[in-house]
Structure 1
Amino acid sequence: MFDKLHRFHPRSLDLLKDYSRARFVADLGAGFTVGVVALPLALAFAIASGVKPEQGVFTAIIAGFLISALGGSSVQIGGPAGAFIVIIYGIQQRYGLGNLLIATILAGGLLLAMGALKLGVLVRYIPVSIVIGFTNGIAILIGLSQLKDFLGLQIDKMPADFFSQLAVLSEHWREVQPWAPLVGSACVLIVVLWPKTYAMDRAAQGFKPKLRRWMSQLPGTVIALAAATAATYLLHLPLDTIGSRFGGIPQGLPSFALPDFSWSSAQMLLIPTITIALLGAIESLLCARVADKLTELKRHDPNQELMAQGIANIVTPFFGGIPATGTIARTVTNVRAGANSPVAGMVHALCLLIIILVAAPLAAHIPLAALAGILLVVAWNMGDWHEFARLRHFSLPYRTILLGTFVLTVVFDLTVAVEVGLVLACVFFIYRMSTLFKVEPMELPYVAPAITRSSKVYQLYGSLFFGAVGKVENLASVLGVQHHTLVLDAQMLISMDSSGLDALQQLQSTLERQGQKLILCGLNEQPASLIQRGGLAEALGAKGIYPDLSDWLLSQMQITTPKPL
Structure 2
Amino acid sequence: MTGRGRFKGYNLASLRKDIISGTIVGVIAIPLGMAFAIASGVKPEYGIYTTIVAGILISLFGGSRFQIGGPTGAFIPILFAIGMEYGYENLLIAGMMAGVILVIMGLLKLGVLIKFIPRPVTIGFTAGIAVIIFSGQIANFLGLRDMERHESFVDNMKEIGLHLSTINGYSILTAGICLAVVMLTIRFAPKVPGSLVGLLCATVMAVLFFSGKVTTIGSAYGDIPGTLPSFHIPVITWERIRLLIRPAFVIALLGAIESLLSAVVADGMTSTRHNSNRELIGQGIANIAAPLFGGIPATGAIARTATNIKNGAVSPVSGVVHGVVVFLILLLFAPYASNIPLAAMAPILMVVAWNMSERKAFLHLLKTRTGDSLVLCITFLLTVFADLTLAVEVGLVLAVVLFVKRMGEVHLVSKVLPDPSSVKVEAHMVTENHDCPQIGIYNVEGPLFFGAAYRFENTMPGFGPQQPKIILMRMGKVPFMDTTGESNLAELVKQLQQGGGKLLISSIQPQALELLKKTGLYDTIGAAQFFEHTGEAINAALGSIDCGKCIGCSHAAFRECAALSAMDTASAPRGHKPRVLPGVARELSGGI
TM-score (norm 1): 0.91
Task: Tell me the equivalent position of 1:422.
Answer: 396
Q: RMSD of the alignment, in Å?
A: 2.1
Contact 2:226–2:330 (8 Å) recurs in 1: yes
Task: Tell me the equivalent position of 2:579.
Answer: none
Task: Tell me the equivalent position of 1:95.
Answer: 86
Task: Tell me the equivalent position of 1:271.
Answer: 246
The SS at the match of 2:225 is coil
- Of 113-122 and 509-518, more deviation after overlay is shown by 509-518
Does residue 411 in structure 1 map to residue 385 in structure 2? Answer: yes
Bigger radius of gyration: 2
Does residue 220 in structure 1 map to residue 205 in structure 2? Answer: no
* CA spacing shift, 1:252–1:445, aligned 2, 3 Å: closer
* CA spacing shift, 1:24–1:170, aligned 2, 3 Å: same
Task: Tell me the equivalent position of 2:480.
Answer: 495
Give the Å deviation of 1:482.
5.3
* CA spacing shift, 1:450–1:168, aligned 2, 3 Å: closer
The SS at the match of 1:468 is helix
Task: Name which of 314, 318, 326 aligns with 2:300.
Answer: 326
Does residue 396 in structure 1 map to residue 370 in structure 2? Answer: yes
Matches within 5 A, 1:51-130: 51-130=42-121
Distance across 2 between alignment mates of 1:557 and 1:52? 83
Give the Å deviation of 1:510.
2.0
Query: What is the letter of the counterpart of residue 457 of structure 1?
Result: I
Give the Å deviation of 1:166.
1.2
Task: Name which of 19, 30, 39 aligns with 1:39.
Answer: 30
Q: Deviations over 1:345-377 (max 9, x none)?
A: 111111111101111111011000000111111
Does residue 189 in structure 1 map to residue 180 in structure 2? Answer: yes
Give the Å deviation of 1:122.
0.7
Give the Å deviation of 1:537.
2.3
Distance across 2 between alignment mates of 1:542 and 1:220? 73
Give the Å deviation of 1:554.
2.0
Task: Tell me the equivalent position of 1:6.
Answer: none
Contact 1:473–1:506 (8 Å) recurs in 2: no
Query: What is the letter of the counterpart of residue 214 of structure 2?
Result: L
* CA spacing shift, 1:451–1:337, aligned 2, 3 Å: closer
Task: Name which of 48, 52, 58 aligns with 2:39.
Answer: 48
Distance across 2 between alignment mates of 1:312 and 1:10? 19
Q: Count the aligned residue pairs.
A: 537
Which runs of 5 or more residues in structure 1 are unaligned? 1-8, 197-211
Task: Tell me the equivalent position of 1:465.
Answer: 449
Distance across 2 between alignment mates of 1:437 and 1:73? 41
Contact 1:472–1:504 (8 Å) recurs in 2: no
Task: Name which of 18, 22, 47 aligns with 2:9.
Answer: 18
Distance across 2 between alignment mates of 1:254 and 1:142? 28
Q: Deviations over 1:219-244 (max 9, x none)?
A: 11111111111111111340000111
Distance across 2 between alignment mates of 1:450 and 1:554? 19
- Of 418-427 and 468-477, more deviation after overlay is shown by 468-477
Matches within 5 A, 1:285-364: 285-296=260-271, 298-364=272-338
Does residue 375 in structure 1 map to residue 349 in structure 2? Answer: yes
* CA spacing shift, 1:395–1:180, aligned 2, 3 Å: same
* CA spacing shift, 1:444–1:217, aligned 2, 3 Å: closer
Q: Deviations over 1:125-159 (max 9, x none)?
A: 11111111000000000011111111111134311
The SS at the match of 1:495 is coil
The SS at the match of 2:214 is coil
Contact 2:124–2:362 (8 Å) recurs in 1: no
Contact 1:292–1:299 (8 Å) recurs in 2: yes
Task: Tell me the equivalent position of 2:230.
Answer: 255
The SS at the match of 1:439 is strand
Query: What is the letter of the counterpart of residue 232 of structure 2?
Result: A
Matches within 5 A, 1:228-239: 228-237=202-211, 238-239=213-214
Query: What is the letter of the counterpart of residue 78 of structure 1?
Result: G
Q: Deviations over 1:145-189 (max 9, x none)?
A: 111111111134311111111111111112111111221122112
Contact 1:10–1:69 (8 Å) recurs in 2: no
Query: What is the letter of the counterpart of residue 163 of structure 2?
Result: H
Give the Å deviation of 1:325.
0.4
Task: Name which of 159, 169, 189 aligns with 2:160.
Answer: 169
Q: Deviations over 1:381-433 (max 9, x none)?
A: 11111234323542511101111111111111111111111111111111111
Distance across 1 between alignment mates of 2:304 and 2:274? 17
Distance across 2 between alignment mates of 1:451 and 1:156? 79
* CA spacing shift, 1:407–1:450, aligned 2, 3 Å: closer
Does residue 548 in structure 1 map to residue 539 in structure 2? Answer: no
The SS at the match of 1:463 is coil
Distance across 1 between alignment mates of 2:542 and 2:501? 19
Which runs of 5 or more residues in structure 2 are unaligned? 426-432, 548-563, 565-571, 577-592
Task: Name which of 475, 481, 504 aligns with 2:489.
Answer: 504
Task: Tell me the equivalent position of 1:4.
Answer: none
Give the Å deviation of 1:260.
2.8
Contact 1:444–1:452 (8 Å) recurs in 2: no
Query: What is the letter of the counterpart of residue 157 of structure 1?
Result: E
Distance across 2 between alignment mates of 1:195 and 1:444? 68
- Of 554-563 and 287-296, more deviation after overlay is shown by 554-563
Task: Tell me the equivalent position of 2:583.
Answer: none
Give the Å deviation of 1:450.
12
Task: Name which of 498, 518, 526 aligns with 1:533.
Answer: 518
Q: Deviations over 1:57-99 (max 9, x none)?
A: 0100111011111111011100010111111111000000010
Identity of aligned residues (%): 42
Query: What is the letter of the counterpart of residue 513 of structure 2?
Result: A
Query: What is the letter of the counterpart of residue 130 of structure 1?
Result: V
Q: Deviations over 1:510-552 (max 9, x none)?
A: 2233343322223232222222332222222355333332223
The SS at the match of 1:253 is coil
Query: What is the letter of the counterpart of residue 481 of structure 1?
Result: Q
Does residue 452 in structure 1 map to residue 436 in structure 2? Answer: yes
Distance across 1 between alignment mates of 2:541 and 2:319? 75
Does residue 443 in structure 1 map to residue 417 in structure 2? Answer: yes
User: 1 or 2 for the larger relative contact order (CA 8 Å, sep ≥6)?
Assistant: 1
Distance across 2 between alignment mates of 1:401 and 1:381? 22
Distance across 1 between alignment mates of 2:2 and 2:469? 67
Q: Deviations over 1:264-317 (max 9, x none)?
A: 222111111011101100000001111111113x31111111101101110110
Distance across 2 between alignment mates of 1:526 and 1:181? 66
Contact 1:455–1:483 (8 Å) recurs in 2: yes
Give the Å deviation of 1:52.
0.6
* CA spacing shift, 1:271–1:542, aligned 2, 3 Å: closer
Contact 1:473–1:507 (8 Å) recurs in 2: no
